[in-house]
């Protein structure tokens, strides 16, 4: 690949890290990461998100229990990304009768989730650029209401996911992505040849799982995705987001 | 700020670019950008998004009309990011009766939107690292149904936003973000002192608008946000996403 600079190399080298040294990030490191995240693009300068840093050991422990993942407790710093329209509702001159509708639509919900995710991916890459590792934690949505209570989130906010950051104790491993021509389409969505391309990808993923030292398994991408699609879970996310004022249209 | 490496410098230097040279990105550049985007984190290896590159001048023209933004037509390359569960529905062994529920929940919708946004922020930063500029286009949701038709999107997909990339003809300008302690909280959501901090920020933003050579205006952040919250728009996003199979729970 031509044009490989430091930033693109960093992206191409991404791997999820799920094991961290027992070493806390410094305030300076947290500041650098948050400020880099804040410079991510945001819809119409609205900045529709907040970031909660979790330093209280009791809260980390409870979040670990919710997620079922030990690295939610054992890491260098734990961030929770929150879609946040509450801040806008507190502006001087805010007219609740007219303006809360903007938060309550599906459009408003999308804006908040997108803003949180853009900032989070900047923070994740900034961490990686400093030699740190990270893991996104959708698992906080296993009990989203409880997470919201723990963080004392006000109306018109929603915890979207967590991000555990820290000093890696292993290299992680890189999972091959879908072939580019499955993900990237020109002008219109292309469905032709999809099954054949995925069959080929499945072979590569099977070879990856067979080659691992630990957690070796006989599985391919299709198996793993179908298994995950059988799980009936996080149905309560809908009730929670509605109770926070979203998706009311 | 300590620890400033090339990647973090790039993030701190981010500015939205809305004017591009009449020079098309090469296939090699597009490949580099998409492959960097594909390495972004994705929920449980699901890769719940697609990217549509728009090269057809007629389609670009229509998308410009939908967005009202000339740079949707005049750029180096136009990407549309799509939340995409359709691909999973095509897997060998997919059991529609059991598995489509996973797409139809609010949880499933969030996963697709987040995956699309994480990939997009990687693509955006990769473009900036190559000296290109970019602009996110939430404005494609002005007529999301029409965008979906133009791109021939199948069920269980949704165009989340566009991203125009190209060779900048100006430097853009950087908009100061909210103070870190407004966006970043420790352990619990902090509301104390919010109004005072925003009042101070408003002064900075007013000074910025007054200092501009073009589009000088007498406005602060609060004014601009409140004005944007008065707009009743994109109410049809909800109908559209439901017609695509989302948010049915």
**How large is the average pLDDT for residues B96-105?**
94
Tell me the three-class secondary structure of A163-229, residue by residue.
EEEECECCCCCCCCCCCHHHHEEECCCCCCCHHHHHHHHHHHHHHHHHHCCCCCCCCCHHHHHHHHH
B3 band by pLDDT with thresholds 50, 70 and 90: low
Fold of A6-174: NADH Oxidase (3.40.109)
Does the beta-carbon distance from B39 to A110 stay under 8 Å? no
% of residues, chain A, pLDDT over 70: 98
The two tokens of residue A13 are 């080298």
- Determine contact: B51 vs chain A, CB below 8 A: yes
Burial of B97 (0-12, 13-18, 19+ CB in 10 A): exposed
With the CA atoms of A193, A199, A203 and A204 taken in that order, what torsion angle do they form, in degrees rounded to the nearest 10? 40
Pairing of strands B157-166, B133-137: antiparallel
> What CATH superfamily is the domain B6-173+234-243?
NADH Oxidase (3.40.109.10)
- Determine contact: A51 vs chain B, CB below 8 A: yes
Nearest CA in chain B to A130: B3
Q: Which of residues 210-249 of B touch A (CB under 8 A)?
A: 221-222, 224-226, 228-235, 237-238, 241, 247, 249
DSSP B41-83: --GGG---EEEEEE--HHHHHHHHHHHT-GGGTSSSEEEEEEE
Q: Do A47 and B183 form a contact (C-beta atoms < 8 A)?
A: yes
Give the count of beta carbons closer than 10 Å to the beta carbon of residue B235: 12
Q: Do B2 and A32 form a contact (C-beta atoms < 8 A)?
A: yes
B213 band by pLDDT with thresholds 50, 70 and 90: confident
pLDDT the model gives residue B4: 83
Using alpha carbons, select from B17, B82, B47, B121 the residue that is nearest to residue A11: B121
Which chain B positions have a beta carbon within 8 Å of A28's beta carbon?
Answer: 2-3
* Spatial strand order in the sheet of B157-166: A184-186, B49-54, B77-84, B157-166, B133-137
The two tokens of residue A176 are 């091959």
Q: Which of B1, B49, B221 sits opposite A32 (nearest CB)?
A: B1
pLDDT the model gives residue A92: 96
Please state, in angstroms and rounded to a whole number, the distance separating the CA atoms of residues B188 and A63. 13
Over residues A97-149, the pLDDT tens digits come to 999 999 999 999 999 999 999 999 999 999 999 999 999 999 999 999 999 99
Per-residue pLDDT at A2 exceeds 60: no
Does the beta-carbon distance from A183 to B49 stay under 8 Å? yes
pLDDT the model gives residue A4: 82
Q: Which of A54, A157, A249 sits opposite B238 (nearest CB)?
A: A249
Over residues A166-175, the pLDDT tens digits come to 999 999 989 9
Please state, in angstroms and rounded to a whole number, the distance separating the CA atoms of residues A149 and B133. 40
Complex-level ipTM: 0.98
Please state the separation of Cα B241 from the chain's center in Å: 17
Mutation pick from A30, A225, A246 vs chain B, by most beta carbons of B within 10 Å, is A225
pLDDT the model gives residue A249: 66
Over residues B137-177, the pLDDT tens digits come to 999 999 999 999 999 999 999 999 999 999 999 999 899 99
A3 band by pLDDT with thresholds 50, 70 and 90: low
B216 band by pLDDT with thresholds 50, 70 and 90: confident
Please state, in angstroms and rounded to a whole number, the distance separating the CA atoms of residues B232 and B236. 11
Average pLDDT for chain B? 96
Classify each residue of A153-182 as buried b or exposed e, where b means 16 or more C-beta atoms within 10 Å of its C-beta.
bbebbbbbbbbbbbbbeeebeebebbeeeb
Nearest CA in chain A to B150: A188
**How large is the average pLDDT for residues B1-5?**
66
Over residues A193-245, the pLDDT tens digits come to 999 999 999 999 999 999 888 888 899 999 999 999 999 899 999 999 999 99
pLDDT the model gives residue B249: 66
Element (H, E) at A61: helix A57-67
Does the beta-carbon distance from B234 to A107 stay under 8 Å? yes
Residues 6+ apart with CB under 8 A from A112: A48, A49, A83, A84, A85, A103, A158, A160, A246
Q: Where are the domains of chain B?
A: 6-173+234-243
Q: Where are the alpha helices (DSSP H) in chain B?
A: 6-12, 27-38, 57-67, 86-89, 96-104, 106-129, 144-150, 180-183, 194-211, 221-230, 236-243
Please state, in angstroms and rounded to a whole number, the distance separating the CA atoms of residues B40 and B43. 10
Which chain B positions have a beta carbon within 8 Å of A7's beta carbon?
Answer: 6-7, 10, 125-126, 129
The DSSP code for A68 is: T
Please state the separation of Cα B202 from the chain's center in Å: 25
Nearest CA in chain B to A50: B183
In Å, how far is A197's CA from the nearest CA of chain B? 11
Element (H, E) at A30: helix A27-38
Using alpha carbons, select from A156, A152, A140, A115 the residue that is nearest to residue A247: A156
Over residues A33-79, the pLDDT tens digits come to 999 999 999 999 999 999 999 999 999 999 999 999 999 999 999 99
Nearest CA in chain B to A48: B183
Task: Count the alpha carbons within 13 Å of B189 in the hemisphere toward its beta carbon.
Answer: 24
Task: Count the alpha carbons within 13 Å of A152 in the hemisphere toward its beta carbon.
Answer: 10
Per-residue pLDDT at B104 exceeds 80: yes
Nearest CA in chain A to B248: A238
Over residues A14-26, the pLDDT tens digits come to 999 999 999 999 9
Alpha-carbon separation of residue B28 from A2, A13, B5, B31, B119 (angstroms): 8, 19, 26, 5, 18
Which chain A positions have a beta carbon within 8 Å of B121's beta carbon?
Answer: 40-41, 117-118, 121-122
């Amino acid at each position: 690949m031509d044009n490989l600079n430091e930033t693109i190399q960093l992206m191409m080298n991404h791997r999820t890290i799920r094991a961290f040294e027992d070493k806390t990030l410094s305030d300076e490191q947290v500041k650098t990461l948050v400020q880099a995240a804040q410079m991510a693009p945001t819809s119409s300068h609205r900045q529709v998100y907040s970031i909660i840093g979790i330093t209280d050991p009791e809260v980390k422990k409870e979040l670990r229990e919710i997620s079922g993942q030990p690295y939610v407790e054992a890491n260098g710093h734990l961030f929770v990304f929150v879609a946040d329209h509450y801040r806008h509702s507190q502006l001087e001159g805010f007219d609740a009768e007219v303006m809360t509708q903007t938060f309550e639509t599906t459009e408003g919900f999308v804006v908040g989730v997108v803003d949180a995710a853009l900032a989070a991916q900047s923070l994740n890459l900034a961490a990686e650029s400093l030699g740190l590792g990270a893991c996104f934690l959708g698992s906080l949505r296993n009990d989203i209401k409880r997470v919201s209570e723990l963080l004392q989130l006000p109306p018109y906010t929603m915890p979207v996911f967590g991000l555990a950051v820290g000093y890696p104790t292993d290299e992680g491993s890189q999972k091959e992505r879908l072939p580019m021509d499955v993900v990237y389409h020109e002008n219109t969505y292309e469905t032709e040849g999809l099954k054949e391309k995925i069959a080929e990808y499945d072979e590569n993923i099977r070879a990856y799982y067979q080659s691992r030292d630990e957690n070796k398994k006989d599985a391919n991408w299709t198996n793993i995705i179908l298994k995950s699609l059988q799980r009936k879970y996080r149905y309560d996310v809908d009730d929670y987001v509605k109770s926070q004022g979203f998706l009311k249209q």
